Amino acid sequence: MRLPRLATARMLLLLLILIVVAFVTAYQHIQSRSWQNTLDVSIYPVNGDAANEFREATARYIDTLTSADFNNIDRWATREAKRYGLAVGQPFKTTLGRTVDAIPPTLGSDPSLLEIVTWSLRFRWWVWQNTPDHGSLARVRVFVVYQQGRDGEALAHSLGLQKGLLGLVNAFARKPQHEQNLIVIAHELMHTVGAVDKYNADGSPMWPQGFADPDKGPRRLQTHAEIMAGRVTTHEGVTMAASLAQVVVNPWTAREINWVH
């Protein structure tokens, strides 16, 4: 049975699109992990309170942001890369992009695999609609949804996608939270280049791969957090690191992102 010409053309077009997507994905994977050149990272603020009573306060906070507010991410990555003798002196160059007015698609708190796949496709379509990539194919785009947040209420989980080099971060629109926001942004940025989470369901670091210094004893006495766990364990319990100055890349993560072999 012969297919109508229109159906054949559609199938060929779909096949062509799939080939292009596969090529771009492979190119991004190789270029983002080669570390021969600095990887450009664009931060796009989003007003997550645009539909509620906090919209003006969050808009004012976003208006105060500049690229310099994200320089600590670059300094942190440069410091950590130096410890591993990485060829490129500065792994990331982070700059602030324009504010995006549209709200990205959300993902539930306990999604199924199908829901995750569907959300990923919707998110990538949303990204293309709102920030068409006219620059490098190996540029990372991180969308930071700023919110005032209510006392005692945790923000939605942030996400980083290696396919497409995309990050979605939920962050507090408060100056005192800025340094911890940078930890979350750096964490999702590391996901885009291949790092995996290293914390348990309760948020505590996995042993030993989630510890900054697993050889240090006693085990519970840590002074730094591993970037893919983000938390420090002490006698008092588990707390989030205060800033990137207290965060390191341990050998497990360094291997995942191709800093060591």
- Residue 124: C-alpha distances to residues 21, 86, 119 (Å): 12, 31, 8
Q: Which two tokens stand for residue 73?
A: 């991410």
Please state the pTM of the whole predicted model. 0.88
Task: Give the dihedral of Cα atoms 69, 71, 75, 81; nearest 10 deg.
Answer: 120
Domains of the chain, residue spans? 37-193, 196-261
pLDDT tens digits, one per residue of 105-120: 988 777 888 888 889 8
- Residue 192: C-alpha distances to residues 15, 39, 217 (Å): 26, 11, 32
Check pLDDT > 70 for residue 202.
yes
Distance CA(207)–CA(91), nearest Å, equals 27
pLDDT tens digits, one per residue of 249-260: 999 999 999 999
Q: Which fold has domain 37-193?
A: Collagenase (Catalytic Domain) (3.40.390)
Select from 259, 209, 241 the least CA-distant residue to 72. 241
Length of the chain: 261
Question: Are the CB atoms for 181 and 248 separated by under 8 Å?
Answer: no
- Residue 211: C-alpha distances to residues 12, 71, 104, 181, 221 (Å): 50, 25, 32, 20, 11
